[in-house]
C-alpha cells in the first residue's frame, strides 16, 4: 500500500493510505505544513471528509468529487473506509460485507481524494465496544430504526468518532441514506459539532436503480425486480398533486404488483422530523421505501413536493 506523499494535481493523484491514528495525524500535520502539493504554499482550504464502508461505487466517487469541490484545490479530502461493527445487528451481513481496500484505493485515484483512512476495529474502538454511545433518539426508533434497532445509534457513534479523529470542516453524506443524513444533521446541531454537513443527491444506474454496495448481492433476476423500488418512488412523486394519500397509493400499487419484492416500509415523512405526514399535508416531503429482494435489503427515497389533496 502506498505511503508516499501526494505530489500531483488534487484531482489526479493517488491517495495516501493510512491505517493508524498516528499515521493519520502525521498526514494531517504534513498537510498543514506543506499544503496539498509538495513544495506548494499552504493556503486556506478546508478539510472535507467522505465516510464510507468501502465497496466503493459511482455514488461514493461522486461524494468524493463534491468533497474536492468543497475543499478547494488547497484543501484536503479524506475518505474513511471502515466497516463499523456497531451498526450491524445480529444476523446482518457484517461478516460478508464486501471488503476490497486495494480495489477501493484504485477507484479513488483520479477523483480528488488525498488521504484514505482505513482503520481496523481495534484502531477505532481500542477499548472494545464503547460503553458511552450516541443515541439517535426518536429518529433512531422509526423506519430504519424500527427494522434495525440500534443501527442509527451505531452509525452516529462512529460518525462522531471519525469526526473527532479526522477533524473535518465539512462532511459529505449521500441522500440515498436519507434517514442517516437526517440523524447526522440532527446530531451535529444538537451536540454543537463544528462540522458543516452536506448532502449529495443519489446516483442512479441508467435504469433508475439507486447505487448501493449491497446491489452486488443481487442475482440478475433480483436486480430486475429491485427496479420496483425506484419505479414506485417515481409513481408516488408523479401523484404529488393528489396529496399525500395519492402519493402513497400510487407508490404502493407499484410495489404490490411487483413479484419477489417484500416491502418493509413505504412512508411519506416530514424531511426534518421523519414523522409521517398527515393526509392533508402539503409542502416538501420525503417518500421512503425499504424492501427485501431475495435476501438483500434495499432502501431508496425521493423528495416530493406535495400539493394539498383536491376533492374530486
Ligand atoms: O453510509 C455508510 O456507509 C455508513 O453508515 C457510514 C456513514 C460510513 C458510517 O459507518
CATH number at residue 30: 3.40.50.620
SS (H, E, C) 185-234: HHHHHHCCCCCEEEEECCCECCCCCECCHHHHHCCHHHHHHHHHHHHHHH
Each residue's pLDDT, cut to its tens digit, for the chain (312 residues) gives: 433 344 456 666 799 999 999 999 999 998 887 665 554 555 568 999 999 999 999 999 999 999 999 999 889 999 999 999 999 999 999 999 999 999 999 999 999 999 999 999 999 999 999 999 999 999 999 999 999 999 999 999 999 999 999 999 999 999 999 999 999 999 999 999 999 999 999 999 999 999 999 999 999 999 999 999 999 999 999 999 999 999 999 999 999 999 999 999 999 999 999 999 999 999 999 999 999 999 999 999 999 999 986 655
Nearest atom within ligand 1 for CA of residue 87: 10
Give the DSSP H/E element, type plus range, for residue 47.
Answer: strand 47-52
Could you list the residue range(s) of the whole structural domain that residue 296 is in? 218-306
Tell me if 66 is assigned to some domain: yes
The grid coordinates of residue 72 equal 478547494
Nearest Cα residue to 46 out of 24, 77, 18, 19: 77
7 in any annotated domain: no
Asked if residue 1 is part of any domain, the answer here is no
Q: Which residues pair with 289 in a beta bridge?
A: 266, 300
Task: Determine the distance separating the centroid of ligand 1 and the alpha carbon of 200, expressed in angstroms.
Answer: 14
Q: Both 170 and 264 in a single domain?
A: no
Query: Is the CB of residue 81 less than 8 Å from the CB of residue 54?
Result: yes
Are 77 and 148 contained in the same domain? yes
Give the N- to C-terminal CA distance of the chain in Å, as an integer: 65
Main-chain phi, psi angles of 216, to 5 degrees: -60, -20
Q: Which helix (H) or strand (E) holds 299?
A: strand 296-306
Whether 251 is in a domain gets the answer yes
Same domain, 166 and 268: no
**Same domain for 302 and 189?**
no
Is 238 among the domain residues? Answer: yes
Q: Which residues pair with 286 in a beta bridge?
A: 269, 303
User: What are the pocket residues of ligand 1 if the criterion is a CB atom closer than 6 Å to any ligand atom?
Assistant: 51-53, 84, 87, 155, 158-159, 177, 180
Q: How many domains does the chain have?
A: 2
Residue pair 167/47 in contact (Cβ under 8 Å)? The answer is yes
Distance CA 1, CA 223 (A): 34
By alpha-carbon position, which residue is closest to atom 2 of ligand 1? 52
Q: Whose CA is nearest to atom 9 of ligand 1?
A: 155
Q: Which of 49, 52, 215 to mutate to test the pocket of ligand 1 (most atoms within 8 A of CB)?
A: 52
In-domain check, residue 64: yes
* Of 52, 71, 55, the residue nearest 159 (C-alpha): 52
Catalytic residue IDs: 60
DSSP assignment of 54-96 equals S---HHHHHHHHHHHHHH-TTSEEEEEE---GGG--TTSSTTT
- Residue 168 and residue 42 share a domain: yes
Give SS3 for 28.
Answer: helix
pLDDT digits (tens, 9 = 90+) for 251-262: 999 999 999 999
Give residue 53 CA to ligand 1 midpoint distance, Å. 6
**Mutational pocket test of ligand 1: of 49, 50, 51, the residue with most ligand atoms within 8 Å of the beta carbon:** 51
Q: Is 211 a domain residue?
A: no
Ligand 1 atom closest to 84 (CA): 10
Beta bridge partners of 236: none
How far is residue 302's CA from residue 292's CA, in Å, rounded to a whole number? 18
196 in the same domain as 233: no
Other residues' Cβ atoms within 10 Å of the Cβ of residue 25: 13
Ligand 1 centroid – CA 155 distance (Å)? 6
186 lies in the same domain as 269: no
CATH of the domain at 255: 3.30.1300.10
pLDDT of 197-239, one tens digit each?
999 999 999 999 999 999 999 999 999 999 999 999 999 999 9
pLDDT tens digits, 261-277: 999 999 999 999 999 99
Beta bridge partners of 77: 48
Q: How far is the CA of 51 from the centre of ligand 1 (A)?
A: 6
Whole-angstrom distance, CA of residue 133 vs CA of residue 122: 17
Say if residues 219 and 225 touch (Cβ distance below 8 Å). Answer: no
Q: How many CB atoms lie within 10 A of CB 167?
A: 15
Same domain (yes/no): 284, 169: no
CA–centroid distance, 293 to ligand 1, in Å, is 22
Residues pairing with 102 in the sheet = none
Query: Domain ends where: 167, 200, 233?
Result: 200
Q: Which of 166, 200, 234 is the last residue of a domain?
A: 200
Whether 181 and 264 map to the same domain: the answer is: no
Same domain, 34 and 91: yes
State residue 33's pLDDT score: 78
- Domain end, chosen from 200, 227, 252, is at 200
Residue 144 contacts by C-beta under 8 Å, 6 or more apart in sequence?
151, 152, 179, 180, 290, 299
Shared domain for 111 and 233, answered yes or no, is no
Same domain, 131 and 260: no
> What is the model's pTM?
0.93
> By alpha-carbon position, which residue is closest to atom 3 of ligand 1?
52
Residue nearest to atom 7 of ligand 1 (CA): 51
Give nearest CA residue, ligand 1 atom 8.
52
In a domain? residue 154: yes
Q: Give the other-Cβ count within 10 Å of 42's Cβ.
A: 12
Amino acid at each position: 500500500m502506498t505511503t508516499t506523499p501526494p505530489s500531483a494535481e488534487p484531482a489526479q493523484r493517488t491517495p495516501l493510505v493510512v491505517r493508524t491514528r498516528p499515521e493519520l495525524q502525521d498526514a494531517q500535520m504534513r498537510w498543514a505544513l506543506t499544503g496539498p502539493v509538495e513544495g506548494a504554499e499552504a493556503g486556506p482550504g478546508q478539510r472535507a471528509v467522505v465516510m464510507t464502508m468501502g465497496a466503493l461505487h459511482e455514488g461514493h466517487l461522486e461524494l468524493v468529487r463534491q468533497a474536492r469541490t468543497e475543499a478547494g484545490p488547497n484543501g484536503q479530502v479524506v475518505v474513511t473506509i471502515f466497516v463499523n461493527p456497531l451498526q450491524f445487528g445480529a444476523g446482518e451481513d457484517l461478516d460478508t460485507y464486501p471488503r476490497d481496500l486495494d480495489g477501493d484505493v484504485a477507484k479513488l485515484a483520479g477523483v480528488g481524494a488525498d488521504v484514505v483512512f482505513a482503520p481496523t476495529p481495534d484502531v477505532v474502538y481500542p477499548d472494545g465496544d464503547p460503553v458511552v454511545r450516541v443515541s439517535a433518539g426518536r429518529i433512531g426508533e422509526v423506519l430504519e430504526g424500527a427494522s434495525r434497532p440500534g443501527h442509527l445509534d451505531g452509525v452516529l457513534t462512529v460518525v462522531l468518532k471519525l469526526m473527532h479523529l479526522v477533524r473535518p470542516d465539512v462532511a459529505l453524506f449521500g441522500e440515498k441514506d436519507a434517514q442517516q443524513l437526517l440523524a447526522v444533521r440532527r446530531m451535529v446541531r444538537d451536540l454543537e459539532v463544528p462540522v458543516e454537513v452536506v448532502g449529495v443527491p443519489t446516483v442512479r444506474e441508467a435504469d433508475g436503480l439507486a447505487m448501493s454496495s449491497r446491489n452486488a448481492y443481487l442475482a440478475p433476476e433480483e436486480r430486475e425486480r429491485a427496479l420496483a423500488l425506484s419505479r414506485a418512488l417515481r409513481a408516488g412523486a408523479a401523484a404529488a398533486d393528489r396529496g399525500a394519500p395519492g402519493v402513497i397509493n400510487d407508490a404502493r400499487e407499484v410495489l404490490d404488483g411487483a413479484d419477489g419484492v417484500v416491502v418493509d416500509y413505504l412512508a411519506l415523512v416530514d424531511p426534518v422530523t421523519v414523522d409521517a405526514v398527515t393526509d392533508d399535508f402539503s409542502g416538501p416531503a420525503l417518500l421512503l421505501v425499504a424492501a427485501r429482494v431475495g435476501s438483500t435489503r434495499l432502501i431508496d427515497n425521493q423528495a416530493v413536493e406535495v400539493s394539498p389533496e383536491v376533492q374530486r
